[in-house]
Amino acid sequence: MKKYIEEGFDLERLPLLESLMSLGNGYIGARGYLEEFDYPGSVRGNYMNGIYERIPLNYAEWASGFPMIADRMPNLIDLFNITIFLDEEEVEPDGPIEDFVRELDFEKGLSRRSYTYETDSGKIAKLSFEQLFSFPYKELRSWSLLIEYDGEIEVKNHFDFEIRNMTSEGDPRIASSSIVLIETKDVSYEASEGAIRLKTINSDIEVKIDFVDDGSFDSAAVLTEDELNISYTQEGKLELTRLVKYWDSIRDNECDFIEKEELYKEQKAFLKDFDNKAAIEFLDNPQLDATMQFTEFHLLQATTQDIHGNISAKGLSGEGYEGHYFWDTEMFLFPVWLFWDKKRAKNLLLYRFNILPQARERARELGHRKGACFPWRTISGIESSSYFPAGTAQYHVSFDIAYTFIQYWLATKDLDYLAKYAMELVIETARTALEIGSFQNDGFHIHGVTGPDEYTAMVSDNYYTNKMAQYNLQWAVKMWHILEAERPSEWLRLNEHLQIREDEIEAMGRAAQEMVYIYDEEKGILGQDSTFLSKAQWPKESEARPLLLHYHPLTIYRYQILKQADTALALFLVPDVDEEVMKRTFYYYEAINTHDSSLSPSVTVLVACRLKDDVLAYKHFMDSVNLDLKDLNRNTADGLHMANIGGSILSVLAGFGGLSLDEEGLHIDPYVHERLGRIKIRFTWRSSVLEVLISEDMTDIKKISGSPAEVIVNGERRLLGQKAALFDLDGVLTGTSDNHYEAWKRMSTDLGLILPEKFRDSLRGISRMESLDRILAYFGLDYSDDEKQELADRKNNYYQESISHFTPDKLYPGARELLEEIKEKGFLLGLVSASQNAAQLVENMEIEDLFDVIIDPTEVERGKPFPDTFLKASEVLGLPAEDCLGIEDARAGIRSIKTAGMTAVGIGDEDLDEADAVFATIADASSYIINWLEA
C-alpha cells in the first residue's frame, strides 16, 4: 500500500504535518494545512515555483559588491479558508473530533482526510476532504469537500485579499520580517466561477487564478474591496468540488479546465509510468520501503516541470530560506534526476543556463574581468545573500553547476547540448577559477573562499573548492577540443561569441595541472584548507545545536569544527585519491562533523559505502531518510529538507547501488548492507530503463525497456537487453515476388509451357531449386541435375535482369524509416531471405549498411520452412533465439521463424495464423516491432 497515513488528531503536531502532508506538482504547491481550522503554528501556504518578489537588503555598513535587493517567494491567496457550521454550530479544532485519518496516496497522487464530529445535539457528522495537484497538467488543481450530516450544513469560504508570508524571530534560516509581497488587483465571482488577479509589488509578475465550483449546494457570495465571502448551504449532504487553474506572466501558460475524473485518471497513469522508470524498493523492510516512497513522492512534487523554476530548499512545502534555490540542487537533487528523468534534469540545467547573464554581471560586480559567478541563493538569478563570508564567498557554487553540466554530457554525449549550452557555461565558470586563483612558485592557489562547511569561512586552498575548480578547468579544455573536432562551425561561433584565445585554454589546462592541495604529512590526510589543521579542536559541550544559533560566527571559525561534510564531499564527487588517504581523511573529518546541516548525513553515507563502513553507512542513512518524518532537526514544520530528501535517494542510487559516471560510461558497483536487505532500483540510462536487484547472494541487472544498454558492472563491461529484428526481403521490405514469377514464367515459355497464375504466390519464401522442382512436377517433367541447374541459372539471369534497375524508391513505404530507427536505437538487424540475390538487391536499394548480417540461403543445408536460416542469423549475431524477432510474408517463412523458437510477425496475408502478430504492411507493423525490441 503506497500511502503515508496519519491517524489521530494532535493539535501540537499539526504544523509539522503541514510540511509532511504538503502537496504539489513542481509548479504549484501547498502546505497540508487544515482548511477549516486556525491553530498555533499554522502557515496557510500556497506557492508557485519561480515566482519572486524583490525586497531591499539593509546593511549597517555597506561595501562595494554587496547586493542591495533580494528575491523572496510570495505566498499566494488562500482559496480554501473555510469555516464549517452544523445546525449553526461551528466545527472547532478543540471539539469532539473522532476517527481522524489523513493520508498521502502515492499511487493516485492526492491527499485525503476524514473525521467525525459530534455536535452539542449529539448528532454525528462525517467530513471528508480530498485534494490533487496534477502532474500531467501542471496548471490544474482539484479540491473536494463532502459533509454528511442529518441537519443543516453551511460552509463559509473567506478570501482575504491581504496576503502575508511567514516569519520567525531568531532563526536566520527563516525571514524575520512580515511583509506583503503580492497584491490582489482584481477579483470576480459569479455563477460559481471565480477569477483572481495578483501582482508582485516590485518585480511586476502577474498571477491569475481561476476556479469553478461544482456540487450539491446553494451558494451566495459577497464581494468587497478587502475580501470575498462565499456561503455554501445544504441539508443532509453537501458536496463541493473546486477546480483551479493557475497562470503567471513569466510562463504565459494559458490552459483549459479538465474534468475531475479525467484529472484523476491521468494522474494515476502518470505516476504508474513514473514508478516503472524510477523507483527504489526495500524488499525485506516494509517500513523503510514506505519511508522511501514518501521521500520519492516529495522529490517529484518539489521539482520544476519547466526551465523557469528549480527546486527550492524547502520545495513547495514551506517558506524556510524564503523559497531560494541553492547549490543543493546541483549536488543532491540533480544527480537523482539524471538517473530518473533526463527531461527534468535538463530543465534544471537550462534554468542555470538562462541566468548565466546575471552570473556574468555578478562576476563584474565582484571585480572579475571575465567569467560568471552564480549566486549562493536566488530565485531570479540575482545574489540574495547579504552575508558574504558564508554566501558570495562560496565560489564553489559556480564549479558545482559546471560539474552537473559535465555529468549530463557524460550521461548523454549529446553534441547539440554541448554546443548550445554546456560549452559556454563550462568555459565561463572555468574563467572564474582563473580570476580568483593565481600561479605561484609552488602551483595554482585559490584564496578568499568558503567551502561547503559554513563553520569555516574566507580561507585559502579549500580542498573542495580547488578540486571542483580543477574538474571544471579540465573539462573546459576537453570539451573545447571535442567541440572543435565534432562541430567545427559551432566551435567557431562560440570562439567568436566568447572571444576565447588559445592561451586562455592553455592557462586553464595549466591551472588544472598545477592546482594546489594541502596535505598533512604527519596525519596523512588532506587539509580542508591551508589553516584548518592548525586550529584548536572545539572545546565546548555538544548539546547546543545547531552552533549557528548559539555562538558568534567568529567563535566558530576559530576551531576545527564542521557544520557539514566538506572535504568528504569532494572525495565522493572526484574520487581520484589513494584509498588509504581517502580513509584517513574521511574519518578525521567525520569525527569533528556536527552534521548541523541537513546536507551532511547523506554525504557520509556515500563515502562510507565506498569504504564499505557498515556502521556509518547505516547510521547516517537512517538519520537521513527519517530526518523529516521523525523531525530529527526539530524544524521540519518550516518545510521539508529537499537536499536531504535528494541525498537520501542518492545514498541508495550512488551509495548502496554504486551508480557513477565517467568517460567510460555507467559504472554499477553495488555495496550490499545486510541490515537493509534486498534492494531493487529502477532508473534510466540513456534510452533504456534498467533494474538492479542487490542482495547478499547476487547482483542481478537487467534491461526493463528501451534500447540495449552497455554498462560496467564491478569493472566488467556488459551489454544488456540486446535484441535483433530479422527481416525477409521480398514482400516485407520490397516487392520482388512478381519479378520472380515473371522470370519463372519466361523460363517456362522457353520450354513451350504456360506457367499458371497460381505460382505467383505459391513460390514465395522457398528456394530457387525447390521452386523449379514444383514447376516441373506440375507439368510432369523430369530433368537431370545438370539440366535443372541450367534452367535455374537461366531463371536467375532473367530475374537479375529485371531487378538490375531497382533503386531506393522500390522499398515499401516506411521500410527505410523502420530500419533506420531500429539501428539508431542500437538493436541488431538481419536479412534472412530465400533469394540468393538478396545482397545485390539491398545494395541497389542502398540499405546494405543497415544490416549487421545478411544470410545467404546457400550458407545452410535446409531452407525455409526449416529454421536453419533464422538460427544461422541468431548464431552470427550472438543472440539466443528468444531475443530475435522474425518478419515474414509467407507461410513457409513464418513456420521457419516459429520452429527456430522466435517471435514471428506476418506481413500482408491475414491467413498467416501461425504468426504472433499480422499486419497489412511493414509500416503498420513498425510500432509493434519497436515495442517488442524495447520491451
Cα–Cα dist 471/451, whole Å: 15
Cα–Cα dist 793/333, whole Å: 68
Tally the C-alpha atoms within 13 A of residue 264's C-alpha that lie toward its C-beta: 12
For residue 403, which of 464, 491, 485, 342 has the smallest C-alpha distance? 464
Cell numbers found for residue 445: 592557489
Cα–Cα dist 772/367, whole Å: 88
CA 785 vs CA 451, 772, 782, 789, 857: distances in Å: 87, 11, 10, 6, 19
Q: What is the CA radius of gyration of the chain?
A: 34
Cα–Cα dist 773/370, whole Å: 82
Query: Do residues 402 and 479 touch, judged by C-beta distance below 8 A?
Result: no
Active site residue 454: yes
For residue 36, which of 294, 240, 226 has the smallest C-alpha distance? 240
Query: Do residues 720 and 711 touch, judged by C-beta distance below 8 A?
Result: yes
Q: Which residues contact 44 (CB under 8 A, 6 or more apart)?
A: 31, 33, 75, 78, 81
Cα–Cα dist 921/925, whole Å: 6
Cα–Cα dist 570/582, whole Å: 10
Q: Where would I find the beta strands (DSSP E) of 487-598?
A: 519-520, 525-526, 536-537, 559-560
CA 6 vs CA 10, 612, 645: distances in Å: 10, 36, 20
Cα–Cα dist 832/844, whole Å: 17
Query: Do residues 141 and 121 touch, judged by C-beta distance below 8 A?
Result: no
Q: How large is the angle between the packed helices 396-412 and 342-354, nearest 10 degrees?
A: 140
Cα–Cα dist 722/727, whole Å: 17
Cell numbers found for residue 142: 482539484
Could you tell me if residue 258 is left (phi over 0), alpha (psi between -120 and 50 degrees) or otherwise beta? beta
Cell numbers found for residue 279: 523507483
Query: Do residues 772 and 788 touch, judged by C-beta distance below 8 A?
Result: yes
Q: Which residues contact 298 (CB under 8 A, 6 or more apart)?
A: 22, 315, 317, 640, 642, 645
Cα–Cα dist 785/775, whole Å: 15
Other C-beta atoms closer than 10 Å to the C-beta of 693 total 16
Query: Do residues 337 and 26 touch, judged by C-beta distance below 8 A?
Result: no
Cα–Cα dist 473/435, whole Å: 12
Helix/strand/coil for 5: strand
Cα–Cα dist 22/19, whole Å: 5
Counting beta carbons within 10 angstroms of the beta carbon of residue 273, is it exposed (0 to 12), middle (13 to 18) or buried (19 or more)?
exposed
Helix/strand/coil for 700: strand
Q: Which of 130, 454, 710, 888 is catalytic?
A: 454
Query: Do residues 873 and 855 touch, judged by C-beta distance below 8 A?
Result: yes
Cα–Cα dist 169/175, whole Å: 8
Cα–Cα dist 679/667, whole Å: 17
Helix/strand/coil for 730: strand
Query: Do residues 372 and 432 touch, judged by C-beta distance below 8 A?
Result: yes
Q: What amino acid positions are annotated as catalytic residues?
A: 454
